[in-house]
Structure 1
Amino acid sequence: MVTKSKGLINYETYTLDNGLTVILHHDPARTVAAVNVLYKVGSRNDPPGRTGFAHLFEHLMFAGSENVPNFDDALQMAGGENNAVTGADHTLYYDILPAANLETALWLESDRMRKLRFSKKSLANEKKVVVEEFKETCLEEPYGDLYHHLNSLVYQVHPYRWPVIGERFEHIEEATLDDVKDFYYRYYRPDNAVLCIAGGFDPTTIREQVARWFGNIPPSSPDHPRPELPAEPEQREMRKKTVYADVPSPVIYLNYRTPGRLHPDFPAIDILCFLLGGGRSSLLYQRLARDGELFAEIATAHNDSLDSGAIFIDARPAEEVDYATARAALFATIDEMVEHGVTQQQLDKVVNRLEQHNLFKGLNVANRANELAFYASIGRPELANTELEQYLAVTVEDIHRVAKQYLRAEGLSEVEYLVEAE
């Protein structure tokens, strides 16, 4: 079925017979094109005993396919560049190149979707790269193992309980070629993917080009079913873990559980995060860093995973400040937000910032492709044009309600790093 948006981003979307979702955004003013392939697979789909596998597989996707010995070289010869990112829910591959050379990217992406080249040599090489990355980022950097501690505290059964890079590097070292093949044919199929093309392509030929390169790739087989994920039980009490480590200073990490990305409260929670700790005008910064001088750094972030989210607070007490005093002040300020909420003026300021950010973000065709691919992957491509309206509709009453509902001790998990005694 073809649909067309009348909003900010014009697009059309349809599905090939093999299940591949295609979304097209034509912008005749562009001389470049973005080609994104999003696979609906992330670290939550890591095989048992193989955590970090989705991230490893991202690396393997550049190790060559049936007709392409080296993906990067072929794309660069066409004047393009590319990259990829693995998350908890998705893995995204994106290419930017001159619009006149668009078919080069379609050929490259379709070739590795159709038949990736498997070899013990490439697997050994990429395992070495990923294991080294694990050791450098998780074991050798201060606080590098945060998400190993935090995720396992927040989640008891859901596979969000390990970080994207994996729970243990031995899980990667033990990966086999059979593991690679099974993962590929289970998740890297057209009916589990979204192809998004944005920019200055020829709208009169693009459908034929997509069909030529992707139309005959076989869909998933019953021999490789995609298993259901376990539902995480509701958290009913505060959880806390203290880590003594060789770190330069104490740090407090707070994780308040929230619903997943598609919940109706998502926009209000997102704005609440900005108001609470999103910059120098936020409540936490003003009370605890600017005025109180209790914290050297303090900020919030919104975890927007599909199955479950979080309001995440990263707070680093200032030097020479009593740790217990700083921690107590942090929770007192969070309680202030819960009790009093925000003013209309404070809300308007954040919403204006979000509108400006949305405007500038939309000027980049690569950003448009990223957003369209994501929204199409969750079956809601129209959100590319309508989600901002949901943000604009948030009221001060909504902010007060979600603060009371989600900034509760029952949904809190805390990890504190304390300096290891010499």
Structure 2
Amino acid sequence: MIHYEKFVLDNGLQVFVHEDASTPIAAVNILYNVGSRDEDPAQTGFAHLFEHLMFGGSKNIPSYDEPLQKVGGENNAFTSPDITNYYITLPAANLETAFWLESDRMLSLSFDPQVLDVQQKVVIEEFKQRYLNQPYGDIWLKLRPLAYQQHPYRWATIGKDISHIEEATLDDVKAFFFKYYLPNNAILVVAGNVTVEQVKQLCDKWFALIPAGDAYARQLPLEPVQTEARKLEMSANVPLNGLYKAYHMPGRFDAGFPAADLLGDMLGRSKSSRLYQQLLRDNPLFSSINAYITASIEPGLLVVQGKLNEGVSLEEADAAVEALLQEFIDQPVPEEELAKVKNQAEATLAFSEVELLNRAMNLAFAANAGDPDLVNKEAELIQAVTADDVQTMARQILRKDNCSTLYYRRAVG
């Protein structure tokens, strides 16, 4: 159970405090309600670019990392299609340093043209290394626009095209910052050896005077229900043929999500999963195979992916996967199998909450979804899933007309 108290500043910044006197550490997590789904289709990759720019110096602090390192702190950030998240862990005695740093870059980045130029080059190099020049690196550059036709999940967080980052101007960057990086578009979670009163005082000192901006009302196009199977074939210089199958599923906080999540676990979470047991161990068509979910806030994807063994055709492997999935649709789900994946899911959840920073992040994610209490309901929701729920979800998700299939062939010659 993650206990917390909440208050809201006049500028709209939501603040959550999770007190834990058993640790000498504090975690400060700021979630901005902006991800790659919020980008202009002609200017993608900006949320990820900002993840880098936010460490390039702000109005009164030329170097972000240096003062934090002096007080024994660490920091990092990540961008997803849904959010951008920045976090610091440091000795609780030095908590104010985190407030000073985070408030200054929320107030205003330095917008130094040289910093923009440097970070553009960093992101462009990352695009090339991770997505263009790495075996199978471009999978999501191909699979997302195959599965999504309208919704902005159709491009990867890195961006749709490398030119969007190359051509970004300082004015573009400023406009993006002042639209999304606002106190009224953010959630601050402070956890650890802190008190609510202490956090209130620090918020009044460092965040209260930052002006609110125009409220961001998200109006994204809905993804139409997929009504026919889609398929794409491509080839590249990779060691093995790859099969990727993406199925639309409920969003992270939708009612059907826990059953869909457990469905994914039963299919391909571990070596005891159906895909591994049947298509790698018993009938070795694949050298590796698994299933996972994107767990995005809006309707996401359940993905089955595998690398084929030498001599196995993509058509043969695909037919074997389809047969296994059809069996899941047709046959009742064994209670023992469901109980096992429930226990695995609960163990993972319990283990994640051991770490203070994870508790802070999970609280921020739930609050951003509109209900911070969701952070304490997950185990209960997992246990409430029945075998019938999983089979119903299998019938809803694993339909052939709900599938986008990518054949990733090894180039010959």
TM-score strictly above 0.5: yes
After TM superposition, give the deviation of residue 386 of structure 1 in Å. 1.0
After TM superposition, give the deviation of residue 64 of structure 1 in Å. 0.5
TM-score, length-scaled by structure 1 = 0.96
Tell whether 2:327 aligns with 1:336.
yes
Partner of 2:316: 325
After TM superposition, give the deviation of residue 261 of structure 1 in Å. 1.5
After TM superposition, give the deviation of residue 121 of structure 1 in Å. 0.6
Partner of 2:120: 127
Separation (CA, whole Å) in 2 of partners of 1:316 and 1:247: 10
After TM superposition, give the deviation of residue 221 of structure 1 in Å. 3.3
Counterpart amino acid of residue 391 in structure 1: I
State which drifts further: 281-290 or 341-350: 341-350
Runs of 4 or more above 3 Å deviation: none
- Residue pair 1:341, 1:399 contacting (<8 A) in 2 also: no
Partner of 1:3: none
- Residue pair 2:17, 2:195 contacting (<8 A) in 1 also: no
Partner of 2:259: 268
- Residue pair 1:186, 1:226 contacting (<8 A) in 2 also: no
Q: 1:100 aligns with which of 93, 97, 102?
A: 93
Q: 2:374 aligns with which of 377, 383, 387?
A: 383
Counterpart amino acid of residue 29 in structure 1: S
Separation (CA, whole Å) in 1 of partners of 2:67 and 2:365: 26
Tell whether 2:29 aligns with 1:36.
yes
Partner of 1:5: none
State which drifts further: 125-134 or 253-262: 253-262
After TM superposition, give the deviation of residue 227 of structure 1 in Å. 5.7
Q: 2:235 aligns with which of 244, 250, 264?
A: 244
Separation (CA, whole Å) in 2 of partners of 1:218 and 1:180: 19
The RMSD of aligned alpha carbons is 1.2
Counterpart amino acid of residue 242 in structure 2: V
- Structure 1 residues not aligned, in runs of 5+: 1-7
Partner of 1:27: 20
Tell whether 2:290 aligns with 1:299.
yes
- Residue pair 1:275, 1:350 contacting (<8 A) in 2 also: yes
Q: Percent identical across equivalent pairs?
A: 46
Q: How many residues align?
A: 413
- Residue pair 1:38, 1:91 contacting (<8 A) in 2 also: yes
After TM superposition, give the deviation of residue 204 of structure 1 in Å. 3.4
Partner of 1:287: 278
Alignment map for 1:41-60 (pairs within 5 Å): 41-60=34-53
After TM superposition, give the deviation of residue 226 of structure 1 in Å. 5.3
Counterpart amino acid of residue 194 in structure 2: F
Alignment map for 1:134-283 (pairs within 5 Å): 134-221=127-214, 228-283=219-274
- Residue pair 1:249, 1:418 contacting (<8 A) in 2 also: yes
Separation (CA, whole Å) in 1 of partners of 2:120 and 2:91: 33
Counterpart amino acid of residue 313 in structure 1: V
- Residue pair 2:346, 2:382 contacting (<8 A) in 1 also: no
After TM superposition, give the deviation of residue 322 of structure 1 in Å. 3.7
Separation (CA, whole Å) in 1 of partners of 2:296 and 2:174: 27
**SS at the partner of 1:382?**
helix
Counterpart amino acid of residue 268 in structure 1: A
After TM superposition, give the deviation of residue 202 of structure 1 in Å. 3.3
**SS at the partner of 1:204?**
helix
State which drifts further: 348-357 or 274-283: 348-357
Tell whether 2:339 aligns with 1:348.
yes
Q: 1:87 aligns with which of 80, 84, 97?
A: 80
**SS at the partner of 2:234?**
strand
After TM superposition, give the deviation of residue 327 of structure 1 in Å. 2.0
Separation (CA, whole Å) in 2 of partners of 1:30 and 1:142: 43
Separation (CA, whole Å) in 1 of partners of 2:69 and 2:292: 35
Go from structure 1 to structure 2 and tell me whether the alpha carbon gap of 1:341 and 1:75 turns closer, same or farther (over 3 Å shift): farther
- Residue pair 1:258, 1:406 contacting (<8 A) in 2 also: yes
- Residue pair 1:37, 1:93 contacting (<8 A) in 2 also: yes
Go from structure 1 to structure 2 and tell me whether the alpha carbon gap of 1:47 and 1:325 turns closer, same or farther (over 3 Å shift): closer
Partner of 2:404: 413
- Structure 2 residues not aligned, in runs of 5+: none
Counterpart amino acid of residue 161 in structure 2: R
State which drifts further: 354-363 or 160-169: 354-363
Separation (CA, whole Å) in 1 of partners of 2:332 and 2:111: 56
After TM superposition, give the deviation of residue 208 of structure 1 in Å. 1.3
Separation (CA, whole Å) in 2 of partners of 1:70 and 1:226: 33
Residue deviations 1:9-65 (CA, integer Å, cap 9, x gap): 110112111111111100011100000000010111123421111101110000111
Q: 1:316 aligns with which of 277, 288, 307?
A: 307
- Residue pair 2:30, 2:188 contacting (<8 A) in 1 also: yes
